[in-house]
Amino acid sequence: MHSPYAPHKAFDEGYIQVSELYKLHDTQSGNPKGKPVEQRLTSHRHGGPGSGAGLKDTVFFDPEVFRVIVFSQRGAGKSLPSGEIRENTTCDLVEDIEKIREKLGIQKWLVFGGSWGSTLSLVYAESHPERVAGLILRGIYLADDAETQWFYQTQTKAYFPEEWEEFASIIAPEKRHNIIYAYNELLHYPDKAIREKAARQWTIYESSCYKLIQDPDYADRAGRDPTIWAKTVIEAHYFLHNSFFEDGFIISEAQISKIRHIPCYMVNGRYDVCCPPHTANKLRRAYGEQSKITWIPDAGHTAMEKGTMTELSKIRGVPMDDPAIVAEAQEIRRYDQWQEQNDSSGIFSFITTARLRKRMFHVFVPMLAVQLSGIALLTIYAVIIYQSLGLTTQKASLLLNSCLSIAYAVAALLSSYVVEKLGRRTCITYGSLVNTLGLACITGIAIGTENNRSNVANGFVVFFIVFITFSYWMLWTGPTTIYVNEIMPSHAREYGVAMANVVPIAIGIAIGQKLPLASANLGAKSYSILLAMSAFGTLLVWIFVKEPKGLSIERIDALFGEHDHVDEQEDQVQAQEVQYAEEIQHDQDEKKGSDVKHLEDLSHVRSA
């Protein structure tokens, strides 16, 4: 390993449904917080087409600086269905990337891709230039037919003759003039063994040619990968259709002019026989001044060779004097200045500032719901168990307390994992719903068996008590704490969280003092009060709680109907500048008109 960074651990992993047919696998790793110096985001495009991507591809990125999004295209890697080629074109992939960006709430990201990933990165940038902060490309492939033929048909076999002969050996001699077409037939052959053999031969040939210094173990491991059929069938599909655009499309003036303002860093092995260096040079000439290329003198095609990996890891940390970083720092500074002028961090700011009042309300709602449900649980625990079920012996009480303690410990361990997997709003909503349904079951059992309580009924009540306690700690209290901390602005978080707890706790204490007495007087019918409290909390959560998971500061602002105050400030400055320019132009026009009239008057005088 020649990168200073180890593969990251994902803080978020899952699937996104991009069409009726496809679900794409995506992961997020690195720093999820989006602090000022960490607001740059990176999206990684894998090779292939069809190779898939995973956390092994995160070694180029500083996990303290970047939030890294890695995903596999349609049919590739862990995306589903595997190896599917229907509705699988470059245009589909570009729109999938946009759906991922929108899902994650990212305004702009740094795009990284190698080999086919460089192709897809360029096409995406040309389709959505406003969403791309920069391009970092490796092993440039522009998807022209001549490039594809270079590797599979015409040129690479001059450097790796034995490997190409082995590659071509399973194809009949009369079909070798179009070897990709011939392989595509074998990859769709009815006999599974033939399909797998073709996929293995294809993959071993590719892997044998990727490195400057051949690594037989590397090729052998690639040939034994269980996903190679899916990868090769997608590759053949794209190559046969010329990646679904005409030769020269990417670097045509109509396309490349859309992205010439975007910084583009390229890295290419000097001895890359898969994506030859002249392709990268062709892109550099078309791209212009904003592009820079670094040639690796001791590397072929793969990103995992020492020189290539070292260079890619080096340029992940963009220099601090880079124009994009300078612009970002200026925006952060302007936001801080705006915040100092417009946002008070004192305790009374939650009363005097409209945007903080709105946040406080949305924080107050789930905290109140948690308190209401907590009171219901404590009342059940204190009254229902000991009075109604008759668990008055020390042995019975100890047994129940042990069950609840175990439930609490397991719930606490699972809470962080579940909240990152499902999202804040989903956890809080599910937690409140489960508690309400559990209380409904307890209420029904208690009222129905009030005069004839059996051990079976008691057992069901105890089960539901343990179950909803587990749900309360795992799905409700932990996610609520995370939610409250995320949506409160950092400068006012301490006061905000404290104030959000004061009122719900006060309400909880007031209600909690009365409920045991009401339960003693009303008997089992009092459980309906607890059920109503929990149902009311669920309704509040369903209406008011929003989902901040994985969103940028700007998107969290947007959730609450706010906007980017820095942009607003800039718009005001620009509007003032335009107004000032118009006034100057107006004065100049008036002066010009006055001068013309004066000349006309002089002309009349001379004529007279």
Q: Looking at the annotation, which residues are catalytic?
A: 115, 272, 301
Burial 338-360 (b: 16+ CB within 10 A, else e): ebeeeeebeeebbeebebbeebb
58, 5 Cβ separation under 8 angstroms: yes
Q: How far is CA 17 from CA 24, 81, 413, in A?
A: 7, 11, 29
Instruction: Kindly give, in sequence order, each residue whose CB lies less than 8 Å from that of residue 102, ignoring residues fewer than 6 positions away.
Output: none
Q: Which residues pair with 115 in a beta bridge?
A: 140
Per DSSP, 80 falls in state B
97, 123 Cβ separation under 8 angstroms: no
Rounded distance between C-alpha atoms, residue 140 and residue 117, angstroms: 9
SS (H, E, C) 264-322: EEEEEECCCCCCCHHHHHHHHHHHCCCEEEEEECCCCCCCCCHHHHHHHHHHHCCCCCC
Rg (CA), the chain: 32
Rounded distance between C-alpha atoms, residue 120 and residue 128, angstroms: 12
Angle between helix axes 192-209 and 179-187 (nearest 10 degrees) is 140
With H, G, I as helix, E, B as strand and everything else as coil, classify residue 353.
coil
Least Cα distance to 62 among 309, 305, 264, 313 occurs for 313
Phi and psi at 242, nearest 5°, equal 55, 40
Could you tell me whether strands 41-45 and 67-71 are parallel, antiparallel, or unpaired per DSSP bridges? parallel
478, 419 Cβ separation under 8 angstroms: yes
Instruction: Kindly give, in sequence order, each residue whose CB lies less than 8 Å from that of residue 605, ignoring residues fewer than 6 positions away.
Output: none
- Encoded tokens for 173: 């001699």
Rounded distance between C-alpha atoms, residue 374 and residue 530, angstroms: 10
Least Cα distance to 121 among 250, 14, 253 occurs for 250
Q: Distance from CA of residue 528 to its chain's centroid?
A: 42
Q: Is the dihedral of CA 60, 62, 63, 65 positive or negative?
A: negative
N-to-C CA span, the chain: 95
Rounded distance between C-alpha atoms, residue 81 and residue 79, angstroms: 6
Maximal CA-CA distance, the chain: 126
Burial 43-52 (b: 16+ CB within 10 A, else e): bbbbbbbbbb
